[in-house]
């Protein structure tokens, strides 16, 4: 993700960038490629030396996301974008939200899929069609592609937060958080003890019925399907939008445009909103409390409540 931010900043024409890394080699390789300023030795050392910035982007390994963000605040930084999920534990995020104050620092969690152009196009379409009548989504993971040497054990034990939360949050940004939900979990994987197959259904606070399905022991992909009184829509893949008109069986792509088509979707949009805070009136980013709510939802869906005191 650090490299994705470098790509976005380059495409946006932002040149005054410092890249902080623990490794001299990795920081130099990155900065030589993009023409940025390398600093190595870790955020604890470098942030103290570097001072304040217009924007600090935290894209460390998961366990260092919150500590690095708090270090940035202690060094006087006021505008901080922290990679999702910020923490694997909702309790930690709720505690952080209570302690955080936008008057001291504006901290947002980087759920880049929530600023996808197709998502905001879909929001406008469903509003014009009378709202969402129902929803279903899937978050089956391609577990054979996971590198189990990259992270600490609890990242994999809580993989639904580390990864699947992308699609869960995107869906519930559209339909709202559940007021009632019945989750079911079946089986387990060697590295994911809470389950390997997940199905459930519920009703959101906006009275929208929904269901979900994921089978990590089989095949499949992420996807979201939305129904309105006039049309059905799906985001499969999540970056694209398709529509099936009522009374037909044909799916047509709904075109959307990005200001930065060569950048991973959502990254440049997030950076733009962080640098232009008034844009949050139209497209809000995810504050710490909202991130805690998404993480708490994933804990319920994936069955992590029993793991809270084991892995933390």
The β-bridge relationship of strands 197-204 and 231-235 is unpaired
Q: Phi and psi for 44 in degrees, rounded to 5? A: -60, -40
pTM for the whole structure: 0.94
* pLDDT above 90: percentage of residues in the chain: 84
Residue 100 has pLDDT above 90, yes or no: no
Report how far residue 223's alpha carbon sits from residue 205's, in angstroms, rounded to the nearest whole number.
22
The verdict on whether omega for the bond into residue 237 sits within 30 degrees of 0, i.e. cis, is: yes
Q: Closest Cα partner for 218 from 115, 308, 142?
A: 142
Once rounded to an integer, what is the mean pLDDT over residues 85-112? Answer: 94
Q: Which residues lie below 8 Å from residue 190, measured CB to CB, with a gap of 6+?
A: none
311: pLDDT strictly greater than 50: no
Which domains, and CATH codes, for the chain? Answer: 2-83 (3.40.50.720), 114-258+287-311 (3.30.360.10)
Q: pLDDT by residue (tens digit) across 34-48?
A: 999 889 888 998 998
- For residues 206-213, give the mean pLDDT: 98
């Amino acid at each position: 993700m650090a490299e994705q931010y470098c790509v976005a900043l380059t495409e946006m024409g932002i040149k005054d960038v410092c890249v902080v890394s623990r490794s001299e080699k990795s920081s130099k390789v990155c900065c030589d490629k993009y023409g940025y300023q390398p600093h190595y030795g870790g955020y604890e050392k470098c942030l103290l030396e570097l001072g304040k910035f217009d924007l600090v982007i935290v894209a460390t390994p998961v366990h260092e996301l919150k500590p690095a963000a708090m270090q940035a605040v202690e060094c006087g930084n006021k505008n901080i974008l922290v990679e999702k999920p910020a923490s694997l534990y909702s309790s930690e995020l709720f505690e952080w939200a209570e302690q955080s104050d936008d008057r001291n620092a504006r901290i947002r969690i980087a759920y880049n899929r929530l600023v996808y152009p197709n998502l905001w196009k879909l929001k406008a379409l469903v509003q014009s069609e009378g709202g969402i009548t129902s929803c279903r989504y899937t978050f089956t993971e391609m577990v054979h592609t996971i590198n189990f040497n990259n992270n600490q054990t609890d990242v994999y034990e809580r993989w639904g937060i580390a990864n699947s939360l992308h699609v869960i949050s995107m869906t519930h940004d559209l339909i709202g958080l559940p007021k009632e939900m019945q989750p079911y979990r079946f089986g387990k994987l060697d590295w994911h003890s809470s389950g390997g197959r997940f199905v459930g259904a519920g009703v959101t606070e906006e009275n929208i019925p929904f269901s979900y399905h994921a089978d990590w022991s089989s095949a499949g992909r992420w996807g979201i399907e939305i129904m309105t009184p006039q049309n059905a829509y799906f985001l499969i893949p999540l970056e694209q939008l398709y529509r099936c008109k009522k009374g037909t069986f044909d799916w047509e792509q709904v075109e959307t445009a990005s200001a930065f088509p060569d950048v991973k979707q959502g990254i440049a949009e997030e950076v733009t909103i962080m640098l232009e805070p008034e844009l949050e009136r139209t497209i809000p980013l995810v504050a710490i409390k909202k991130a805690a709510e998404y993480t708490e939802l994933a804990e319920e869906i994936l069955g992590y409540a029993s793991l809270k005191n084991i892995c933390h």
